[in-house]
């Protein structure tokens, strides 16, 4: 078991080293040696690991107005807020509509219409209403996360085993107790399945918001757009790597919570 | 189902047997208020059964209805918690029930790690721990292998002997009905009617294994089997 884990990590690091090495090497070959410009693979477009590392260090230093850490913090903050508000509202709405056929029927066309709207198209409007700051980004992330969580929770709430509800009733449960001890725990398993995609979509929403939001919104999306303006692919790469790292950490965090809360499920029973 | 009428006495163990589709489970569901009768009435203690089951009725389903997100102890505690019993008392009664069902050591296990027989044991104790006056059981051991089934028969008889609840037990397994019940309601095939109500005269306490070798058991089995066999024959012809 332990050997297996070591070899997996060795492979991962090996592959990463090969990719970075090839990247660094290939972007260094010139068509005519020692002449500036004219590369086989031009680092102007995809930069080079060594340059990216330098830019990263520069962006963490106090020589810049806005360090990469501040930008990452802004992105993380908006993502987490959009995610949290999105899952709570999405869960509540999914639960209510999933348990009431009537309300579900009434709201159905509105939900389908709003959900089929590409959320990116809302960015200018959201920016107009909520300004260029943190709030607009949170609203954008929320508008995506809400629906993902909502639809999963809705399905989950509809597929609660009727016999479990009956048996709770025979054990003396009232409506509130059935909600708390049967419907919510049973639905949560479905809701959790939507959390991993939700966090990545929240991140997408936030970054898109930052593309438009300008400097006052800060964030890594701002760094990317600013680098586009200055044709600086190294800075873009720095932003992308940091975004990737944020994505990994958040996904791991969710997996932790999931394993803990869903430890009753057979797939989490293996120790 | 057509007209069906039978009485269940207080603290009596009644089994309902009959061909599948005859409405055995429907009768149980009507007593438990899961289904409203299309005509006629069901009286419990002289009062008509309403749209919601009374708190004195317990129900054990054939299907596995143990809550998978709760541990064994938490499942057994459910009924007591719903009734607002104090935590300390819940704990002591659950411990007692766990011991009674032979589930010691599994209190904190989740149902996914248990066998079908153990899960059904949890479901049974969960219903019994609140001391229902009437216990409805719909083929609760139907999905279990013979060995596990016999063990659970013995346990159920032991518990029932101690607590003396009124039990209505639906099954398609005639030997199960004879082993457990005081009286057996034999249903006809669809549309279900009561074909006969048979008094089981086997003495209690019963030994679920030895019982099956006794002459009385075989004679009673033969008599009911004959009645049931007529139902199967009519279907074939």
Structural domain ending residue among the three candidates B82, B108, B131 = B131
Closest chain B CA to residue A267: B112
- Is residue A269 very low, low, confident or very high in pLDDT (cuts 50, 70, 90)? low
Supply the CATH number for residue B36's domain. 3.40.50.300
Chain-chain contact of A173 with B82 (C-beta, under 8 angstroms): yes
* Residue A136 sits in the same domain as residue A104: yes
For residue B61, being part of any structural domain is answered with no
Chain-chain contact of A182 with B67 (C-beta, under 8 angstroms): yes
The Cα B54–Cα B34 span in angstroms is 11
pLDDT, averaged across chain A: 89
* Residue from A163, A169, A170, A174 whose CB has the most chain B CBs within 10 Å, to mutate: A170
* Residue A232 sits in the same domain as residue A244: yes
Written as six digits, the tokens of B37 are: 């009768």
CB nearest to B82's CB, from A163, A171, A263:
A171
- Is residue A126 very low, low, confident or very high in pLDDT (cuts 50, 70, 90)? confident
* Residue B71 sits in the same domain as residue B113: yes
* Residue B100 sits in the same domain as residue B152: no
List all residues of chain A from 166 to 205 with a beta carbon under 8 Å from chain B.
166-174, 177, 181-182, 185-186, 189
- Is residue A271 very low, low, confident or very high in pLDDT (cuts 50, 70, 90)? very low
* Residue B112 sits in the same domain as residue B215: no
Give B44 to chain A, closest Cα distance, Å: 16
Written as six digits, the tokens of A88 are: 């709570």
B113 touches chain A (CB under 8 A): yes
* pLDDT for A39 beyond 90: no
* Residue A62 sits in the same domain as residue A28: no
* Residue B140 sits in the same domain as residue B232: yes
Report how far apart the first and last C-alpha atoms of chain B are (Å, whole number): 21
Structural domain ending residue among the three candidates B104, B131, B158 = B131
The answer to whether B157 touches B206, Cβ cutoff 8 Å, is yes
* Residue B33 sits in the same domain as residue B108: no
* Residue B221 sits in the same domain as residue B145: yes
B179 touches chain A (CB under 8 A): no
* Residue B138 sits in the same domain as residue B232: yes
**Residue spans of chain B under pLDDT 70:** 1, 53, 234-237
Containing B119, the helix (H) or strand (E) segment is: helix B116-128
The Cα B105–Cα B127 span in angstroms is 20
Over residues A124-134, the mean pLDDT reads 86
A242 touches chain B (CB under 8 A): no
> Per DSSP, what are the bridge partners of residue B60?
B137
- Is residue A183 very low, low, confident or very high in pLDDT (cuts 50, 70, 90)? very high
CB nearest to B53's CB, from A164, A170, A264:
A170
The pTM score is: 0.81
Strand B166-170 versus strand B183-187 pairing type: unpaired
Supply the CATH number for residue A102's domain. 1.10.3720.10
* pLDDT for A108 beyond 80: yes
* Residue B78 sits in the same domain as residue B137: no
* Residue A90 sits in the same domain as residue A189: yes
pLDDT, averaged across chain B: 87
Residue B163, domain extent: 1-56+133-237
Using one digit for the tens of pLDDT, what is the confidence trace for A9-24?
999 999 999 999 999 9
Strand B134-138 versus strand B13-17 pairing type: unpaired
Q: How many residues does chain B have?
A: 237
* Residue B93 sits in the same domain as residue B205: no
């Amino acid at each position: 078991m332990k050997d297996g884990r070591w070899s997996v990590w060795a492979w991962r690091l090996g592959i990463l080293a090969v990719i970075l090495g090839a990247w660094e090497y290939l972007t260094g070959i010139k068509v005519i040696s020692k002449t500036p410009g004219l590369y086989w693979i031009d680092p102007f477009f995809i930069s080079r690991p060594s340059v990216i590392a330098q830019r990263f260090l520069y962006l963490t230093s106090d020589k810049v107005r806005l360090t990469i850490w501040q930008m990452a913090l802004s992105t993380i903050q908006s993502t987490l807020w959009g995610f949290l508000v999105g899952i709570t509202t999405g869960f509540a709405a999914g639960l209510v509509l999933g348990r009431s056929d009537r309300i579900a029927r009434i709201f159905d066309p509105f939900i389908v219409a709003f959900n089929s709207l590409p959320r990116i198209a809302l960015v200018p409007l959201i920016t107009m209403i909520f300004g260029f700051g943190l709030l607009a980004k949170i609203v954008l992330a929320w508008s995506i996360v809400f629906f993902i969580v909502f639809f999963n929770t809705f399905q989950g709430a509809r597929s609660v085993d009727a016999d479990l509800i009956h048996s709770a009733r025979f054990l003396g449960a009232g409506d509130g107790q059935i909600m708390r001890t049967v419907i919510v725990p049973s639905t949560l398993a479905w809701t959790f399945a939507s959390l991993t995609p939700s966090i990545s979509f929240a991140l997408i929403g936030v970054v898109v918001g930052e593309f438009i939001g300008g400097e006052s919104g800060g964030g890594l999306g701002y760094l990317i757009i600013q680098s586009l303006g200055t044709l600086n692919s190294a800075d873009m790469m720095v932003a992308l790597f940091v975004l990737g790292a944020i994505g990994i950490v958040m996904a791991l965090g969710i997996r932790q919570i999931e394993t803990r809360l869903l430890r009753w499920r057979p797939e989490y029973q293996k120790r | 189902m057509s007209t069906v009428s039978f009485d269940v006495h207080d603290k009596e163990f009644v089994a309902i047997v009959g061909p599948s589709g005859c409405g055995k489970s429907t009768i149980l569901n009507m007593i438990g208020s899961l289904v409203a009768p299309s005509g006629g009435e069901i009286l419990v203690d002289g009062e008509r059964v309403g749209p919601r089951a009374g708190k004195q009725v317990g129900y054990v389903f054939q299907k596995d209805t143990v809550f998978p997100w709760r541990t064994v102890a938490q499942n057994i505690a459910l009924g007591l918690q719903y009734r607002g019993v104090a935590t300390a008392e819940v704990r002591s009664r659950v411990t007692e029930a766990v011991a009674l069902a032979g589930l010691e050591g599994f209190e904190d296990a989740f149902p996914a790690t248990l066998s079908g027989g153990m899960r059904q044991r949890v479901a049974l104790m969960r219903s019994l721990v609140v001391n229902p006056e009437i216990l409805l059981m719909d083929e609760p051991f139907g999905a279990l292998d013979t060995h596990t089934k016999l063990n659970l028969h013995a346990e159920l008889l032991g518990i029932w002997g101690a607590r003396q609840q009124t039990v209505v037990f639906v099954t398609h397994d005639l030997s199960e009905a004879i082993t457990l019940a005081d009286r057996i309601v034999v249903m006809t095939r669809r549309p279900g009617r009561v074909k006969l109500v048979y008094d089981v005269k086997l003495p209690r306490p019963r030994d679920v294994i030895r019982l099956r070798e006794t002459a009385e058991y075989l004679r009673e089995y033969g008599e009911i089997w004959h009645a049931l066999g007529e139902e199967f024959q009519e279907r074939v012809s």
